Structure 1
Amino acid sequence: MTKTYTLVVSCPDRPGIVRGVSGAIFDAGGNILDSRQFDDRETGRFFQRVVFECPGAPAGLTEAMERLAGEFAMDWKLIPGERKTRVLILVSKFDHCLGYLLYKTRMGELPMDIVGIACNHPREALAVSDIGGIPFHHLPITKDTKPAQEARIKALVDETGAELVILARYMQILSDDLASFLSGRCINIHHSFLPSFKGAKPYHQAHARGVKMIGATAHYVTADLDEGPIIHQATEAVSHEDRPDDLVRKGREIESRVLGRAVGWHITHRVFLNGAKTIVFAN
């Protein structure tokens, strides 16, 4: 039975990497279906994503990749095509992004297993009515209870085996400790086209500046507020006739699309961290 695999590779750039990787796949009986690569001349890093099919398990590929890893100082990962990413979603009262992610998942457009939804408000506060059998966790938070609440989030990640945490308009600033714990595996949607209008009420900030375009930014979470590596952005035109509420309304659709696209790229292993930036092999 033919199976599909994705192989992702990053390492210092030097000749022979592509030959080594493609040769290892060929020797394991694999047939390459898609291959994308990028040489970053600024950082001297090489990035590659390869999708291949193989009759059964790719015999000997792990051993071959371990040899290449030693030779090229390579980070690599092999992912079976049918494997879904385990995801924990954090949300507050604004649940439009949550609803979008749930819909895309049910339609089979986001290959992920949502292992839990955590909210700092009760279930009744959400407009999304159908979360199916997904476990819901009410985790209220105050200034005094923030450390305990974040400890519970950490525990949920460990208990569920969540590989990705999505801040789907989770209107809380993560502590440096939690941001560090989730480094490289937490995506936030910021309701603004970063780096402009950081922090609270960015649409109101944008309206006050008389902008002609608004946008949204999906990025990885770091300890620096709204400074994490950007995965995806999009914009939409607005005019002098739009009030702050109009910008918020229009922004909901942009936020949902941008977050959904960024999550989709992450869980299909198309995003590579590259210092303060990302390499994205968009589909």
Structure 2
Amino acid sequence: MIDNAFVLTLACEDRVGIVAAVTAELVTLGANIAESNQFWDRQTNRFFMRIAFTIPTNVSREDIERLLKSPIERFDIKTSLASEARKPKLIIMVSKFDHALLHLLYQIRVGRLNAEVAAIVSNHEDSRRTAELESVPYCYWPVTEDTKAEQEQRLLELVKDVGADLVVLARYMQVLSADLSKRLYGKAINIHHSFLPSFKGAKPYHQAFERGVKIIGATAHYVTSDLDEGPIIEQETERVSHAMSAEDFVAVGRDIESRVLARAVKSHLELRVLINGHKTVIF
């Protein structure tokens, strides 16, 4: 990673002059733009942009924020600025099935994901050994109807204490409350073992098997208070046949889930995902 490399994202109502105003300030800093993507949603008249750039070593993050303040205020832009040198912190939540968790840990180990796992949270003990091997703190927090609120409060405190940038539900088989979902909006990604919007809820592969589908898949989406309804980040499908069992569907699905979740997390951490209402813009 380059110490003086940054990524800036912008979202606002579309108006003439936004790109010129922002890039002019970056030029003033002596920035070199390495990548630039933009999108105008004609239906909502919303403008989205992602700029990756490098700055001279004598320029600070504070300098960037100070010079961008004028166009941000003028166009009422919602922005996010991240240094590529900083490793974002993740909290990964998992229940018994650990394939998605293991794939994320591997992607981090080989450098495909620029992130640090601050903690693994589970309502089961099954992944404790994995956490110990990775030297990651393991939080075993069983969930019942009586303890759910307390457990979710502990999660919010953990997010604050470790400075987590993202909560990843890697086959965490508990439904987050509406309150927690709202508080983590845009900062929690779930992998649903189905190609949404089809087959929501429990045992979607078995639902798909019963319906005799020819394609199954998985969907990574942001968590919202509406179950499995959050803005979709990444999806993938694979063909299946009548000769396969429900267990075969599950086995194929696990592979897809692992890949889809890792790609979604990577896109989010690189600020390539901008939420656009119920949808996303992916750069």
The bucket for the TM-score relative to the shorter chain is: over 0.9
* Shift in Å, 1:152: 1.2
Supply the distance in 1 between the matched residues of 2:212 and 2:75 (Cα, whole angstroms): 51
**Per-residue Cα deviation, 1:107-147 (whole angstroms, up to 9, x for no partner):** 1110111100000001x466847642110110011111111
Structure 2 CA distance, aligned partners of 1:89 and 1:109?
17
Structure-2 change in CA distance of 1:94 and 1:57 (3 Å): farther
Q: Give the RMSD, CA atoms, in angstroms.
A: 1.5
Change in CA separation of 1:239 and 1:57 when aligned onto 2, cut-off 3 Å: farther
Name the CA distance, whole Å, in 1 between partners of 2:269 and 2:178: 25
- In structure 2, relative to structure 1, the CA distance for the partners of 1:208 and 1:25 (3 Å cut) is same
- Per-residue CA deviations over 1:1-43 (Å, capped at 9, x if unaligned) read 9721111111110111111111111100101111011111111
Give 2:203's aligned residue: 201
CA contact (8 A) 2:122 2:141 kept: yes
Alignment partners' CA distance in 1, 2:16 and 2:133: 50
Which stretch shifts more, 249-258 or 149-158?
149-158
TM-score under structure 2 length normalisation: 0.95
Equivalent position of 1:15 in the other structure: 16
C-alpha distance in 2 between matches for 1:163 and 1:46: 24
The count of aligned residue pairs is 280
Match of 1:269 in 2: 271
Question: Residues of 1 paired with 2:247 and 2:101: CA distance?
Answer: 20
Rounded to whole Å, the distance in 1 between the matches of 2:68 and 2:17 is 13
AA at the equivalent of 2:120: I
User: Mapping of 1:177-192 within 5 angstroms?
Assistant: 177-192=179-194
Rounded Cα–Cα distance in structure 2 between residues aligned with 1:132 and 1:232: 27
Are the structure 2 counterparts of residues 189 and 156 from structure 1 closer, same or farther at C-alpha, using a change threshold of 3 Å? same
| 1:212 has 2:214 as partner | yes
The farther-off stretch of 172-181 and 202-211 is 172-181
Q: Which moved more, 1:48-57 or 1:100-109?
A: 48-57
Q: CA distance change for structure 1 residues 126 and 113 in 2, over 3 Å: closer, same or farther?
A: closer
1:163 counterpart = 2:201: no
Mapped contact 1:94–1:126 kept (Cα < 8 A): no
Match of 1:61 in 2: 64
Query: Cα 1:106–1:130, aligned 2, differ >3 Å: closer, same or farther?
Result: farther
Provide the residue aligned with 1:71 in structure 2.
Answer: 74
Aligned counterparts of 2:244 and 2:155: Cα–Cα separation in 1: 38
1:151 corresponds to 2:141: no
1:55 aligned counterpart, secondary structure: coil
Whether contact under 8 Å (1:91, 1:118) holds in the other structure is yes
**Preserved contact between residue 222 and residue 232 of structure 2 (Cα < 8 Å):** yes
Q: Judge which range, 71-80 or 234-243, deviates more.
A: 71-80
Q: What is the SS of the residue equivalent to 1:142? A: coil
Question: Which AA in structure 2 matches 1:119?
Answer: S
Aligned to 2:55, the other structure's residue is in SS state strand
2:52 partner letter: V
How far 1:153 sits from its partner (Å)? 1.1
Q: Is the 8 A contact 1:238 1:247 kept in 2?
A: yes
- Contiguous gaps of at least 5 residues in structure 2: none
The residue type paired with residue 41 of structure 1 is R
Checking the alignment, whether the CA contact within 8 Å between 2:90 and 2:117 is kept in structure 1 is: yes
1:77, distance to aligned residue in structure 2 (A): 2.1
Q: CA deviation at 1:84?
A: 1.4
Q: SS state of the match for residue 173, structure 1?
A: coil
Shift of 1:83: 1.1
Report how far residue 61 of structure 1 moved: 2.7
Do residues 115 (structure 1) and 118 (structure 2) align? yes
TM-score, length of structure 1 as denominator length: 0.95
Residues 93 and 121, structure 1, Cα contact 8 Å, conserved in 2: yes
For 2:146 and 2:94, how far apart are their aligned partners in 1? 20
Would you identify which runs of 4 or more consecutive aligned residues in structure 1 move more than 2 Å? Answer: 57-61, 124-131
Counterpart secondary structure, 2:85: coil
1:233 & 1:221 partners in 2: Cα distance?
A: 15
Tell me how far apart the structure 2 counterparts of residues 5 and 76 of structure 1 sit (CA, whole Å).
13
- Residue aligned with 2:69, SS: helix
